[in-house]
Structures are given as structure tokens and as C-alpha cells.
Amino acid sequence: MLTINPLKSRLRRNEPVYGLLNSVPGPWLAEMIGRAGYDFVILDMEHLLVSEETLRHSLQAVLSTGCTPLVRVPDGDAKRIGRLLDAGARGIVLPQVDSAATVADAIAACRFPPLGRRGITGGPITGFGTLGLDDYIHLANDNILVVPMIESRAGVEALPGILAQEGVDMVLEGALDLALDLGLGPHPQAPEVTTLIADMAARCRDAGVPFCANPRSPEQLAHWREAGITAWLAGEDRGYLFRALQQRLAEVRQAG
């Protein structure tokens, strides 16, 4: 059943929040991330062929831990966004954003009238009717998050208009795709990329919208801490799992 979103509450109070991208689909790992103490987990639909049924179970598993589940959608399809929110997603991450209009449409898909165009249903999200529809609509409109990802030069140029939209809760950078879009190859720490992301963070600060940093080196981590960043993406589970498996194998081989 929908309740107050702890992630959105912490963002409003400018308290530190830490998240992880879940790119190995399944409820067990999604729940594990929540149990590990992360404030939010981003379940990925952009790059994964994951069924909505698997995603529904993952959402419920994350919610059982007190962690906030977000879903990175492949696009702004309003019907899909509505189904995800009905299934328990507490917000969406919108990739490859390059215009304020795209964000405005996504916000409308996440909000009930008169603030948006989301269609309403009952079921588990309302506690099968134990949460009145008036209260549900108010909670949903106040607690669902919309997080655009800026991953191109067009997105950087559109950022002022994006930040002016009522209902943008956090901005996430996509340094690797930004580097590719700039013709720099797969180099997310290239100087031009670093400069644009620093400008992105400054624009978010000036607009009063949290910027979520994704540090890729100890130097970047130190830089963002010094800059006062409080929202953090700690990378993705796939890379950490792979390296942990490699390390454990190496340890056992060396012991033999």
C-alpha cells in the first residue's frame, strides 16, 4: 500500500541518500540491496529484457526493506509508467532526456488530475480499498519521484528548462553516454565531460533540485563531497558482483 516516500522526505530535508543501480534482475538481489542499507535502488528496464511480473516481485521485495524502489524506464510511455507505479514503484528514472517537454510528459504520467493525466486503479497500491481514493491521490501526487537523466549535449542545453518544471525531484548524470554523444568514446572521465557535469551540478544547486553524483574514482568522490553533494549513486550491482566473484576465486586458488 502506498505510504510516505522516505527517499523524497530525505531529499526535501537535504539529508544524504545513497542508491544503487540493479542491473541483475530478480527479487532476491533487489531485496539484498535494500537490506544492505541503501536508501534507494534503481531497477533497470532500459537495458534489460525483464518481464513486468519479475519487476513487480522485485518492487515488493525492495519495499519490504524500507528502501525506495525506482524504475529506469526505456522511454516515457505513459501506460507503462502507470502500470509500474500501480505495481509499487515509488518513482521513475527517465533516461536520455533531451527536452523539457519530455520531462513534462513524464511528470504528467506520474500525477493524477488535476496535476497530470495518470489513470487510477485500486488493488494492492490502495490496500485493496483500505486507503481511501482521496488520500491515495494526495499521497501519490506528493510522493512519486521523477528523475531525469542527462546523457547528451542536447540534454545539457535543455537543463534550464528541465529544472524549471514543477515536479523534477532529482537529476542524475549519465557520463558514459554523454562522452559517447560528444564523440569522445567510452571515456566518462574525459575533461569535457567532467566540466559539463560540474556545470550540471551547479545549475541543479541554483534551482534547488538535488543532483545525484555517480563518482567513478576516489578523486571524483572527494570532489563531490567537497562540493556538498548529498545524493549519491554508488554504481551498479553487476560490476561489484563480478569483481567479488573474481576476487573470491583468486583467494581460494592462492590458498591452495
Cell output for 1: 500500500
What does the angle CA 188 – CA 190 – CA 192 come to, to the nearest 5 degrees?
Answer: 110
Can you give the three-state secondary structure of 48-66, one letter per residue?
A: CCCCHHHHHHHHHHHHCCC
Cell output for 30: 533487489
Cα gap 21→30, rounded to integer Å: 10
What does the angle CA 145 – CA 149 – CA 151 come to, to the nearest 5 degrees?
Answer: 175
- Which residue type is seen at 1? M
Catalytic residue among 47, 138, 187, 223: 47
Pair type for strands 171-173 and 145-150: parallel
Judge whether 223 counts as a catalytic residue.
no
| CB-count exposure of residue 115 (10 Å: 0-12, 13-18, 19+) | middle
Cα gap 151→55, rounded to integer Å: 25
Cell 554523444 belongs to residue: 181
The residues carrying an active-site annotation are 47
